[in-house]
Amino acid sequence: MPLIETFLAAYIMLTSVATLIISLYGVFYKPHLTKKIISITIFGDAVNIFSAIVGFRYIYPVAPPILLTENPTAQDLTNFLEVAVDPVPQALVLTAIVIGMAVVSFMVFLALNVFRIYHTLDTRKIAEQRKRSEE
């Protein structure tokens, strides 16, 4: 692989790992529940992008894993195998997106209920209120 492409591949990998770490930082250190939820979605998206890169093929021409003929011959299938990208990570990403969406919607519902009870989503203020009500 030429030098520039090696650099670009490394750059994409570094970016996705950096996004993962930044989203982890958001989950741990941001006190606001909305920001925590946003960080979790960014974490999921970073993992999904990483999986899509794992399935990519560095060739030209490159095609999506869809056969364009209804009755493919053996030659068609050989040509298809030469250009198609890996479909497995794509299927896994699809599953991950659905589960991520379900989990995020559940978290949003919980956060909304927390807001209705405490009138804030800041975890520091919630802890304060809880402490006060315990006293």
Partner 1 sequence: MNTKTVISLLVIISSLLAISYAIADQATGVIPQTGLRNLASFYLENTLNPSNKSYWTASPEATSAIVWDYRGFDTFFETSVFYLAIVGCTLVFELYEPPKSKTTKQTELGLTIIVKVITKIVGILIVCVSASIALHGQLTPGGGFQGGAALAVLPILFIITMSRFALDRKVNDTSMIIIRALGLCGIGITVILPLFLGFITNNNAYIIQNQMKPDALVSLPSTIADKMMGGSLWMLNVSEYIAVGAGFTLAFLLLSLPERSFKKILEEEKYATY
Binding site for partner 1 (CB under 8 A): 9, 13, 17, 20-21, 24-25, 28-29, 53-59, 64-72, 74, 77, 80-81, 84, 86-88, 90-91, 94-95, 97-99, 101-103, 105-106, 108-110, 112-113, 116-117, 130, 133-134
CB of 96 to partner 1, least distance (A): 9
What are phi and psi for residue 38, nearest 5 degrees? -60, -40
Whether omega before 87 lies within 30 degrees of 0, making that bond cis, reads no
Instruction: Look up residue 96 and give its DSSP letter.
Output: H
Q: Please check whether residue 15 is in contact with residue 49, taking contact to mean a CB–CB distance below 8 angstroms.
A: no
Q: Please check whether residue 67 is in contact with residue 80, taking contact to mean a CB–CB distance below 8 angstroms.
A: yes
CB of 121 to partner 1, least distance (A): 15
CB of 99 to partner 1, least distance (A): 5
Output the CA torsion sign for 102, 91, 89, 52. Answer: negative
